[in-house]
Structure 1
């Protein structure tokens, strides 16, 4: 607030004022050039911009009887209309101090309704509740609390150490859980791989057995198709080979060695030199 005592004055765009004549309210002053009668008149000017105001650090006790230190910041501005500007002058002596003290008092109340753990995660909720309460009273003073922020929540050192140990234990437990989960998944994958490998080996064995069976079937079919009726000739050739291997006497004709003469329809037997042949 500033007071103008000169006969000629100028109000800037972000200022509003009131004129008093002989100690009584007489006019609302808007931005621009103005005139007054010194001694008889007086102009009071109010800045209607947002005012940044700190909530000083203070100890508060939570619902579970833990003492912590908190602070914050808020943004407050006077309403620019005539009635609100009059309230800022006539309804409160020092509106900035009044709003700050009101904020500190209600801040203690807000934290008193919450436990320590709830307080650490309820900054936004506390700020919203505090802003609502402040606006309830600030409206009577021609003010608007635009925003409230909780800046710091500082527990005692022993609480910090306990919280740190708890957080460390939680992180270790989470790491062990993740490791166990990873090992379990790895075991599951290994089991699936072994099952797949066994399935593959079984399938391969079946295919090999089927191939061998098919080969035997083809051999049997070929034997039945190409060697049927030639069994006697085949037997004669086998016995001729055996006779030659044992140095037996054989009959040679003009057609060469004739197994037919030896083993055909003639009653001829082939023996080795140690046992002469008989008719």
Structure 2
């Protein structure tokens, strides 16, 4: 009986112990986390994703998020190098490195890296913008973001943290300065518009000038072609007349003997007839011979009379 009672008591005690072990001794770590087990307040082991078995009331598990996180550096007033006040705000993106050493640093090298990185970003931002003019800060945001991220990475490397990037949300100058900057921007845009208009007018004028030159060159070429055509026509006409005269001379040489004397007699006869002079032509005589003799030319032989 005593032995049976003992087993009953052991079973009654063992069930709660097992339940306590299950409830307090088994933990799970997600893929986005890493775990640090501390035993009796001291670092004991590092765990990746999966199940972790702890000794209840002796071991404790600290889970660390290793995904990218964002903190807001909160809006603050800074003074630029040209003594102007501006309200600035920035966002910092960072993550804890997943290796054991970096996870340990994030827990043991810094008290609260979320809070401290915000304060560090605020002071670093004031220092960087304080070395720039307001115009430089507004026009060099990419450079400013890179400088801020580099400074934060350098100062948080002992925390096991990687600063992914830093982004300046806004730089808000005083109201009067903002109005002046707006007027400057408007003036610059008007200047650019005026220059573009002048360029367009100049381009149009240049186009018209080129068109006029092309038209004048076309007219000149047309005149030259017309003159060349006219000269060619004159030459062809002169050549035709020369050929005509040559044909006449060739015919005269072929059909008339002493063509020069004959042509002269014909010319004299034509002149006499045109002056309405009276010429008596004896029977059996040639008009050409009579006129030629009057002009002192040798008469042409005449053909005998037909019987």
Using the size of structure 2 for normalisation, the TM-score is 0.69
Asked whether the equivalents of residues 72 and 150 of structure 1 are also in contact (C-alpha less than 8 Å), the reply is yes
Q: Deviations over 1:122-174 (max 9, x none)?
A: 22211111111111111111100012233334444314422332233222332
1:111–1:170 distance in 2 versus 1, CA, 3 Å = farther
**Contact 2:266–2:288 (CA under 8 A) maintained in structure 1:** no
CA shift for structure 1 position 37? 2.7
The aligned runs of 1:89-238 (5 Å cut-off) are 89-155=107-173, 156=175, 157-228=178-249, 229=252
Match of 2:76 in 1: 58
* Root mean square deviation of aligned Cα: 3.8
| Partner Cα distance (1:152, 1:266) in 2 | 128
Distance, in Å, in 2 between the alignment partners of 1:217 and 1:250 is 39
- Give the Cα separation in 2 of the matches to 1:66 and 1:204: 76
Structure having the larger proportion of residues in strand? 1
> Once the 2 structures are TM-superposed, how far is the Cα of residue 243 of structure 1 from its aligned partner?
9.8
8 Å contact 2:76–2:89 — kept in the other structure? yes
Please state which structure has a larger fraction of its residues in helix.
2
Shift of 1:45: 0.8
**Which secondary structure state, in structure 1, belongs to the residue aligned with residue 55 of structure 2?**
coil
Which residue matches 1:81?
A: 99
Deviations 1:22-55 (A, max 9, x none): 2222222322111223333221110111112333
Unaligned runs of 5+ in 1: 252-257, 269-279
Answer with 73-82 or 178-187: which moved more.
Answer: 178-187
TM-score by length of 1: 0.75
Residues 164 and 121 of structure 1: CA distance in aligned 2, closer, same or farther (over 3 Å): closer
1:36 aligns with 2:54: yes
Q: Is the 8 A contact 2:269 2:288 kept in 1?
A: no
- Displacement after TM superposition at 1:65 (Å): 3.2
8 Å Cα contact 1:236/1:260 also seen in 2: yes
The offset of 1:9, in angstroms, is 0.8
How big is the shift at 1:187?
4.2
> Would the alpha carbon gap of residues 116 and 14 (structure 1) be closer, same or farther in structure 2, given more than 3 Å must change?
same
Q: Which runs of 5+ in 2 are unaligned?
A: 1-22, 253-258, 281-285, 296-307
For the 8 Å contact 1:18–1:25, the answer to whether it is kept is: yes
Aligned residues: 262
Q: 1:244/1:92 Cα in 2 relative to 1: closer, same or farther (>3 Å)?
A: same
Give the secondary structure class of the aligned counterpart of 1:56: coil
> Equivalent of 1:8, from 5, 9, 26?
26
Change (3 A) 1:118 1:192: farther
